[in-house]
Amino acid sequence: MNIIFIEPSFPSNQREFVRALHAAGARVIGIGERPQEYLDHEVTHWLFEYVQVKSVVHEPSLLKAVKYIQSKLWVDRIEATVEAHIMPVAKVREATGIPGTSVETAYLCRDKPAMKEVLRKAGISCAQSTRAKSADDARQFAASVGYPLIIKPPDGAGASGTYKVSNDKELERIIVESGIADGHAMAIEEFIEGHEGFIDTLTINGEVHHEFVTHYYPNVLEAMRERWISPQMITTNRLDEPGYVKVRDMARQVIKALNIETSATHMEWFYGPKGLKFSEIGCRPPGVGQWDVYNAANEFDLYFEWAHALSHEKIHTQPSRKYSAGMIALRPDGDGHIQGYSGVQVIQERYGDYIVASRLPDPGTPTQPVEAGYMANAWLRVRHPDYDKLRLIMNDIGQTLKVHAS
């Protein structure tokens, strides 16, 4: 099978998808923005051919590259795993007659107001929402729904560009800051109180073949605003317990409603006083190396499972569910440059057998802002057979291991 893969070398974990496709027996053709000599030896070995373009999100350039490849050999699929690449690739896919995620599905998985409108019609519980194109749109929605509200870009990812609004005064300020006052459309949603998590799937022809549920501690919006927090994401190995039935069913309803066929998905959800609420979906793998967490928890290779699904329309190995696993982000206590760490030896002595990966940047490394994300500074990946014990371990890591900067 001949599979085009978009941007094989950046970000760094893109190489894992190329590796997996090659291992699954696919002939991999890479399209990327960097010169071929930029790619490392292994990536070059895994690729059958490489085509450089000025931008993988510039549709004319991407289309020209794909047509060039099609002039030389049959193309079975064209795949992308980065959120910003999904829509351009879908448009080129349809223009060239290559199977895969459609433009409509890509749009619905990216545009939050349209997404929620379709899902509400399908009977899936979501926050009340609208697309505000003017200040009056925002004020009318606030008057109808009440506070608090969430305002964010219609196609945003994570908490980027997201505001929580609690009263009329804040709304007027955010109308200006967000660009709504200048006609820039934003998604406005009812704020949902409750615990936040996500469910990730690998689907083949619309059927879920792999799934993983992960919990945020604390919720993302709070985690991305407070430096002192060492936020955690923990995936459970108790997926078969009754408490997860609803979220697993919801994921399947969403996949059906959005016509997702063979793809990775990443779905956010809330559970609180109003019950289970769908939040949003990406028709792609999750970010922040989360598949590496699943691999550590389940003693298998999810990148290869994805590649095998694309190449052979079936999975290769079942996850062991032996461990719960998680990632904890460790923020510097100030801006500037990392000066050093405290508590590293203590944590190593207590939990070294459970730590499966880590990044502790060298002293002198410039710090990154909290808004840069969970992996921007220091982090650890940890696993344990018992979910509750893992939570205690990760709490202790967050309280003990400190990153000092000035």
Q: Given a cut of 70, is residue 217 above it in pLDDT?
A: yes
The answer to whether 61 and 54 have CB atoms below 8 angstroms apart is: yes
Report residue 226's pLDDT band, with 50, 70 and 90 as the boundaries: confident
Each residue's pLDDT tens digit, 20-31:
999 999 999 999
pLDDT at residue 225, as a whole number: 81
Closest residue by Cα to residue 276 from 302, 252, 249: 249
The answer to whether 379 and 401 have CB atoms below 8 angstroms apart is: no
Reading phi first (left if > 0) and then psi (alpha if -120 to 50, else beta), residue 364 is in left
Closest residue by Cα to residue 111 from 162, 161, 153: 153
> In what order do the strands lie in the sheet containing 2-6?
47-52, 27-32, 2-6, 77-79
Tokens of 29: 């053709």
Each residue's pLDDT tens digit, 85-130:
999 999 999 999 999 999 999 999 999 999 999 999 999 999 999 9
Mean pLDDT on 41-60: 96
Closest residue by Cα to residue 384 from 343, 345, 344, 356: 356
Report residue 221's pLDDT band, with 50, 70 and 90 as the boundaries: confident
> DSSP string spanning 90-134?
HHHHHHHT--SS-HHHHHHTT-HHHHHHHHHHTT--B--EEEE-S
Collapse the DSSP code of 311 into the 3-class scheme (helix H, G, I; strand E, B; otherwise coil) and give the result.
helix
- What is d(CA 334, CA 325) in angstroms, rounded to the nearest whole number? 28
pTM: 0.93
Q: Given a cut of 80, is residue 371 above it in pLDDT?
A: yes
Tokens of 288: 């922040």
The answer to whether 237 and 322 have CB atoms below 8 angstroms apart is: yes
Each residue's pLDDT tens digit, 313-361:
999 999 999 999 999 999 999 999 999 999 999 999 999 999 999 999 9
pLDDT at residue 159, as a whole number: 61
pLDDT at residue 357, as a whole number: 97
Tokens of 332: 């510097």
Domains and CATH numbers, the chain: 2-108 (3.40.50.20), 128-190 (3.30.1490.20), 195-405 (3.30.470.20)
